[in-house]
Structure 1
Amino acid sequence: MTDFIYEKDADGIVTVTMDMQGQSANTMNERYVPGMDQVLAKLRAEPDLKGVVFASAKKTFFAGGDLKLILAIQKSDAETFHYIEENKRPYRDLEQLGVPVVAAINGAALGGGYELCLACNHRVIADVPGAVVGLPEVTLGLLPGAGGVVRLTKLLGLEKALPHLTEGKPVKPQAALKAGMVDAVVPAIDDLIPAAKAWIKANPETHTQPWDQKGFRYPGGDVLHPKVRQMIVGSSAFLYSKTRGLLPAPAKILDIAVNSMRIDYDAALRMESRGLCALVMTPECKAAITTFFFGMQAIKSGAVRPQGDRWKAANAAILGAGMMGSGIAWAHANAGLPSVLKDTEMDKAEKGKSYTAMLADKAIKRGRMDDAKKERLLSQITPATDDAAFAGTDIIIEAVFEDIALKEKVIPETFKQLGPNGIYGSNTSTLPISILAKACPDPTRFIGLHFFSPVDKMKVVEIIMGEQTSEETLRKAYDYVQQIGYMPIVVNDSRGFFTSRVFGTFMDEGISLMVDGLSPVAVERAGWLAGMPVGPLAVHDEVSLVLSQKVGKTHKALDERLGVDSGFGKHNVASKAVCDAMIEQGRGGRHYGGGFYEYAADGSKTLWSGLAQFAKGNAEIPMEDAIDRLLYRQAIETLRCLNENVLRSEVEANLGGIFAIGFPAHTGGAIQYIRGIGIDAFAARAKDLADKYGERFALPDSAYDILRNKEALAA
């Protein structure tokens, strides 16, 4: 029992300390069930056993299922069902041990870890940083399959259990105590074992779970209770409004939780296993585990970060106190990074600082901040109009207007204030970094740092490597982005980089659908059904048609200046034709009073009736085609970026698409979306769309080879 430390004291209480060898956390690995069986056999053989305490030697209590094993499951068959049943069997054996069992929770007890706690008679947790309980399986396209759905429903009742089951949020100690998810809280880890043993001594006969006792009643009422029946109906509608029917796990959890109240306990546990067996093979599950667990882990652990010592900026300067500069100043202040916010006039710089005050006031109103923290945030921002105010700074973020001539003037003037080991970042969304770098005295220390609006909500930064940007500068930029709590996505230089290129295809395809004859209402509906946060017409209004037009003109002028044809946005012909015409009619977007939508004074909006003039066709476009057109355009452009080496990894392609562009999260990102459909099946459907709707969907078969080759290497 190398993974379990077994200790019996003089009072007959055994402490089982979980310590999975060769890994940083306790998980349900291939040694888990045999190890638990050995522990249970030894406990049953103990003379005068009075009780059992489960503890952990790791920083966390128990992390739950081994996701590598789950991801490797290829069939939803009898073997998979048996695997799931075997993993949960020890918990049922534990419930029937005949002595009090206590979970001593020293850190995170999530998923299978908290399910172990639920199988215990008593749960005590230390009120320390990192200690949480919860069932986050739903966020990975799964359900709690080791008894979590059935036991939590019995412990809390359906109404209180459902949010924890269908949302999967971790719960801190005091909140968990209030919710009934744990039974006691102690101030320190050293207090856990003594508290657990004291409870066992005080409750020697408390070893039968409430649901195993005769006359058990569900808290809040059983499934026939009028209030519960009403809540079941409402929950189903609420879940659909949240998931749009795109996520199978929440609906499956609701179904099992409700039906577990109607049948025998052991039968309910088997039903739960069947539900998990069905979910492990869904594309949504594979996508969530691949992207949101292993992908996020790769970003956080630095797997895609250049090697070298960690770097930390001690101070910063932001040039331009407009919307972007003000947002970046907030991000810096929130991370405790002192920053100078410079503009041409002090009133503008002060106004930029006031943005942080406004956000702080909102947080105070919601009870998420106090006045003292607001003052600390504001003290981190120094408005200025003179470059000397940030002499010797570690990082300068140029966030002036998206005009190449202006940037080429500002960059050399302000670079001289950079510290000897500092780096210079340009916040640009489409302008080539390699061209801007020509204005920089040291292009090796120049890099693109593309923040997204609004900065306080969009926690991702696209880092753009110029042709001469050094790996040291990239490493420092990567560390800076993580220092302020944002997700870094690294790309190589190109027109529009990655995010702007792909986002432009989404907006353009929405307009293309409208031009082809699909009603604007149906266009927006297709975006909703596809899983996009906002419809393509609505989001274009927010970005503004004027900005889209300016970007096009900027790149046309850049092409003329360089004597090249970059081909930037060459497929976005619908956007150019319609946007130019709408701007001529005074409709530049929401900021300009109206665009695709009319905006009322009360905040409501309706689609503009004049959009009918742009319908050139009268095609009967199936909704399936409309949805695919919106998603395939983005996925194909993402694949182009990967194929052209603009994107450096699938991980960054997937996470960048979801968090920066809003590509539907249930797909796991654009490249995972292709893999989920199947590379050959996706290519065939893309060809079908190209034949029906145009060459923008066409890709040579060789473009897919990068995915096939990676697949072959993985195999």
Structure 2
Amino acid sequence: MNGESFVDIIRYERGEDGVVLLTMDDPARSANTMNAAFTEALAATVDRLYAEKHDITGVVLTSAKKTFFAGGDLDLLGSIGPDQAAAVMQSTTHLKGLLRRLETLGRPVVAALNGSALGGGLELALACHHRIVADDARIEIGFPEVTLGLLPGAGGVVRTVRLLGITEALMQVLLRGQRHRPTKALQVGLVHSIVPAEELLARARDWIAANPNAVQPWDVAGYKIPGGTPSNPSFAANLPAFPATLRKELKGAPYPAPRNILCAAVEGAQVDLDTALTIEGRYFVELATGQIAKNMIKAFFFDLQAANARGSADAHFTKVAVLGAGMMGAAIAYVCAKAGLQVVLKDVTLESAQRGKAYAETRKRVDQALLDRITPTSEVADLAGADLVIEAVFEDPGLKHKVFAEIEGVVAPDALLCSNTSTLPISLLAEGVQRRADFVGLHFFSPVDKMPLVEVIRGAETSDATLDRALAVVRLLRKTPIVVNDSRGFFTSRVIGTFTMEGLRMLAEGVPAPSIEQASLQAGYPAPVLQLMDELTLTLPQKIRNATAAAIAAAGGTWTPSPADDLIDRMVDEFSRPGRSGGAGFYDYTDGKRTALWPGLREHFERPAAAVPFADMQERMLFAEALESVKCLDEGVLTSVADANVGSILGIGFPGWTGGVLQYINQYEGGLPGFIARASQLASRYGDRFTPPALLVAKAAAGETFV
């Protein structure tokens, strides 16, 4: 090699063949990110490429890290505000100018993707004339920015639209934030070829030799965007379908990123590339300096990262005993087998256990090897040697005690003992086992194979080692854990109960059911509250209420029913409408499919005088969950703010735009004092349950936030 040197974080090496190998290797970080240091290094590198252009035959861009490039600097993006809009626009314009200079160097430039290229990494690659990716199924390629409330702001929207066309760019790459594996990225058109990792650089050099005059497609005279632009009559006729689809998907929730992406793509397709880059930049700056992006970055990156970092033990389990082959047990058995564990699925009868195994057989892309790892049985002896037990029987303490008593002497003497329960105190359930220090709660969410969260519940006698092993199980199953301390309902079930009960309270007050459903959708909940209640079945809150009332009475307290309790009783007992599983609930059903809200709701519950402002309807649900979460934190049920935010979004559907239940309070207009003022207003209108808890008031007085 000659001309070898280092330019900040980009290593510059020119070979005898005239090909410059640019190797990104930020010494200050474990991954390359699009921060100020990188931009400075890129500027110096591009200047050098132009200065030495006559001695260069081509350029290969690659990375010394495990990933190619990790994207934008989220620390920075999580802190900039509207007052920095001009500076953000200037810096993004500068970066886009550097990438534009790179792709118009007059020499072929190849991106050799040795690892994942997400966000800014893909933007770098798209500024190259050719993209080769290593044949590694772990590699991900895409623009996940929309999931963080952002859009690709360094030319990603503009180049993707010009490469794939408006429709393909929006649906396959931009609007849903897909992370494509190499094969899919090739199919979509984001990369040109997949090669063995050890051949990446050689293949890049070969392509450069074969394409000495390479230019970007959009720099060729007469180039037209695939599929046409809005100026094309046939395309323009279908253009209204995009915003209509977007409105349908967002359901009125305040997520500005998809709208900005759509606008940047459509508007940018009607102008020259440089103007399109400016348009993209303006829409990016609006998002980057706004509050919603900060909320989503905190929740979906920093808080999620903190939750996934919990625990230190590695998972060393060989055989798992799943007790109960009902809906939850069957699904838990499937995800365990999918993770490579040998599973014994036990139920009272072999037929029931076999039906549980059939769940796995109905999943997509299930091979025989996975199915062979699940053994259905009705015999306790078949559980011998199991080093992990996950119980998933009916929510009854007596039954749970019974099944653990049957198996505890059969499984391995140091087996981890886990109970999947959504409300029953783990310390109560631990009374049914001998090794209480080895007993822990694992609360899975339905559908288990799709829901990414597991609530890990520590009982009064659960040991530190047991908690650590439980976290290892969750990681092994490729899910995100949150850790909570024991209480009835724990965190997630307790908090979601305030959401559903608030929706039912409004219905009991006489508020029209369609308005309640719209309020919950436009607040950002993934499912409207009455629809959710139908899915959960109304008999479930009845059972939880009765158990809670009995526990309060046993402790010498007094249970006070709410109007929502009376409404549930009428729906179940008077109208025989227990929910979807019973064929009738707040909605009507035909052949198991939801059709429309039950007209009887208007007849039996709606009252014209029950006028509640739409904003109040939305915030009654949001505030109910946020305030209950503060109580959980104050009582020590929650162990961290990150767990509260992540658990609320991934487990119980709290709107993602808020950043989670406690971040919702942080970011409320006026901060914590503003939230307290609004909560007090709701309390005066609708009841003491909205009275701000002491912890919230104390934090506001001290000028603190939930961190």
Relative to the length of structure 2, the TM-score reads: 0.93
Deviation at 1:41, TM superposition (A): 2.0
Contact 1:507 1:575 in 2 (8 A): no
> 5+ residue gaps in structure 2?
1-6
Q: For residue 610 of structure 1, what is the aligned residue in structure 2?
A: 600
- The runs of 4+ residues in structure 1 deviating greater than 4 Å are 706-714
Counterpart secondary structure, 1:62? coil
Q: For residue 492 of structure 1, what is the aligned residue in structure 2?
A: 485
Counterpart secondary structure, 2:414? strand
Q: For residue 105 of structure 2, what is the aligned residue in structure 1?
A: 97
Match among 340, 346, 354 for residue 358 of structure 2 = 354
Amino acid corresponding to residue 360 of structure 2 in structure 1: T
1:692 maps to 2:692: no
Q: For residue 25 of structure 1, what is the aligned residue in structure 2?
A: 31
Contact 1:28 1:87 in 2 (8 A): no
Deviation at 1:377, TM superposition (A): 2.6
Deviation at 1:441, TM superposition (A): 1.1
Q: For residue 18 of structure 2, what is the aligned residue in structure 1?
A: 12
User: CA offsets per residue over residues 335-357 of structure 1, 9 Å max, x none?
Assistant: 22112222222222222222222
Amino acid corresponding to residue 109 of structure 1 in structure 2: A
Match among 191, 195, 215 for residue 222 of structure 2 = 215
Q: For residue 653 of structure 1, what is the aligned residue in structure 2?
A: 644
Q: For residue 107 of structure 1, what is the aligned residue in structure 2?
A: 115
Q: For residue 573 of structure 1, what is the aligned residue in structure 2?
A: 562
Q: For residue 325 of structure 1, what is the aligned residue in structure 2?
A: 329
After superposition, residues 477-488 of structure 1 pair within 5 angstroms as 477-488=470-481
Amino acid corresponding to residue 68 of structure 2 in structure 1: F
Contact 2:458 2:483 in 1 (8 A): yes
Give the Cα separation in 2 of the matches to 1:212 and 1:542: 54
* TM-aligned CA distance change 1:203 to 1:351, over 3 Å: closer
Counterpart secondary structure, 1:461? strand
* TM-aligned CA distance change 1:173 to 1:413, over 3 Å: closer
Deviation at 1:251, TM superposition (A): 0.8
* TM-aligned CA distance change 1:709 to 1:395, over 3 Å: farther
Amino acid corresponding to residue 129 of structure 1 in structure 2: A
Deviation at 1:194, TM superposition (A): 1.7
Match among 241, 255, 262 for residue 270 of structure 2 = 262
* TM-aligned CA distance change 1:68 to 1:707, over 3 Å: farther
Amino acid corresponding to residue 53 of structure 1 in structure 2: V
Match among 229, 235, 241 for residue 242 of structure 2 = 235
Q: For residue 155 of structure 1, what is the aligned residue in structure 2?
A: 163
1:390 maps to 2:379: no
* TM-aligned CA distance change 1:405 to 1:706, over 3 Å: farther
**% of aligned pairs identical?**
43
Counterpart secondary structure, 1:72? coil
Counterpart secondary structure, 1:351? helix
Contact 1:643 1:706 in 2 (8 A): no
Give the Cα separation in 2 of the matches to 1:267 and 1:400: 61
Give the Cα separation in 2 of the matches to 1:497 and 1:341: 27
Amino acid corresponding to residue 322 of structure 1 in structure 2: G
* TM-aligned CA distance change 1:701 to 1:384, over 3 Å: same
Deviation at 1:566, TM superposition (A): 8.4
Give the Cα separation in 2 of the matches to 1:490 and 1:79: 40
Contact 1:527 1:536 in 2 (8 A): yes
Deviation at 1:243, TM superposition (A): 1.7
> 5+ residue gaps in structure 1?
none
Match among 444, 448, 451 for residue 458 of structure 1 = 451
Q: For residue 248 of structure 1, what is the aligned residue in structure 2?
A: 256
Q: For residue 578 of structure 2, what is the aligned residue in structure 1?
A: 588
Q: For residue 563 of structure 1, what is the aligned residue in structure 2?
A: 555
After superposition, residues 361-510 of structure 1 pair within 5 angstroms as 363=364, 368-369=365-366, 373=367, 375-510=368-503
Deviation at 1:157, TM superposition (A): 1.9
Amino acid corresponding to residue 467 of structure 2 in structure 1: L
Match among 73, 81, 105 for residue 74 of structure 1 = 81
Deviation at 1:695, TM superposition (A): 1.0
1:121 maps to 2:125: no
Amino acid corresponding to residue 27 of structure 1 in structure 2: T
User: CA offsets per residue over residues 684-703 of structure 1, 9 Å max, x none?
Assistant: 11111111111111123533
* TM-aligned CA distance change 1:314 to 1:86, over 3 Å: same
Counterpart secondary structure, 2:415? strand
Deviation at 1:57, TM superposition (A): 1.1
Deviation at 1:710, TM superposition (A): 9.6
Deviation at 1:45, TM superposition (A): 1.9
* TM-aligned CA distance change 1:380 to 1:284, over 3 Å: same
Contact 2:511 2:607 in 1 (8 A): no
Q: For residue 36 of structure 1, what is the aligned residue in structure 2?
A: 42
Give the Cα separation in 1 of the matches to 2:89 and 2:558: 54
Amino acid corresponding to residue 565 of structure 1 in structure 2: G
Contact 2:81 2:290 in 1 (8 A): no
Give the Cα separation in 1 of the matches to 2:424 and 2:595: 33
Q: For residue 56 of structure 1, what is the aligned residue in structure 2?
A: 63
Q: For residue 659 of structure 2, what is the aligned residue in structure 1?
A: 668
* TM-aligned CA distance change 1:320 to 1:280, over 3 Å: same
Q: For residue 529 of structure 2, what is the aligned residue in structure 1?
A: 536
Counterpart secondary structure, 2:483? strand
After superposition, residues 172-191 of structure 1 pair within 5 angstroms as 172-186=181-195, 188-191=196-199
Give the Cα separation in 2 of the matches to 1:409 and 1:185: 55
User: CA offsets per residue over residues 45-90 of structure 1, 9 Å max, x none?
Assistant: 2142221111111111112211111112133432222222233231
Amino acid corresponding to residue 23 of structure 2 in structure 1: T
Give the Cα separation in 1 of the matches to 2:682 and 2:607: 19
Deviates more, 1:442-451 or 1:264-273: 264-273
Contact 1:17 1:56 in 2 (8 A): yes
Deviation at 1:196, TM superposition (A): 1.6
Contact 1:674 1:682 in 2 (8 A): yes
* TM-aligned CA distance change 1:544 to 1:601, over 3 Å: same
Give the Cα separation in 1 of the matches to 2:700 and 2:60: 49
Contact 1:159 1:228 in 2 (8 A): no
Amino acid corresponding to residue 636 of structure 1 in structure 2: L
Deviation at 1:446, TM superposition (A): 1.0
Counterpart secondary structure, 1:54? strand
* TM-aligned CA distance change 1:548 to 1:19, over 3 Å: same
Contact 2:666 2:705 in 1 (8 A): no
User: CA offsets per residue over residues 460-499 of structure 1, 9 Å max, x none?
Assistant: 2211111111111111111112212222121101111111
Deviation at 1:150, TM superposition (A): 1.2
Q: For residue 626 of structure 1, what is the aligned residue in structure 2?
A: 617
Give the Cα separation in 2 of the matches to 1:702 and 1:656: 20
Deviates more, 1:593-602 or 1:119-128: 593-602
Give the Cα separation in 1 of the matches to 2:556 and 2:316: 40
Deviates more, 1:343-352 or 1:4-13: 343-352
Q: For residue 45 of structure 1, what is the aligned residue in structure 2?
A: 51
User: CA offsets per residue over residues 271-297 of structure 1, 9 Å max, x none?
Assistant: 221211110122221121111112222
Q: For residue 4 of structure 2, what is the aligned residue in structure 1?
A: none
User: CA offsets per residue over residues 573-622 of structure 1, 9 Å max, x none?
Assistant: 12211112222212222223322223223624332333332357822111
* TM-aligned CA distance change 1:709 to 1:442, over 3 Å: farther
Counterpart secondary structure, 2:87? helix
Counterpart secondary structure, 2:354? helix
Deviation at 1:392, TM superposition (A): 2.9
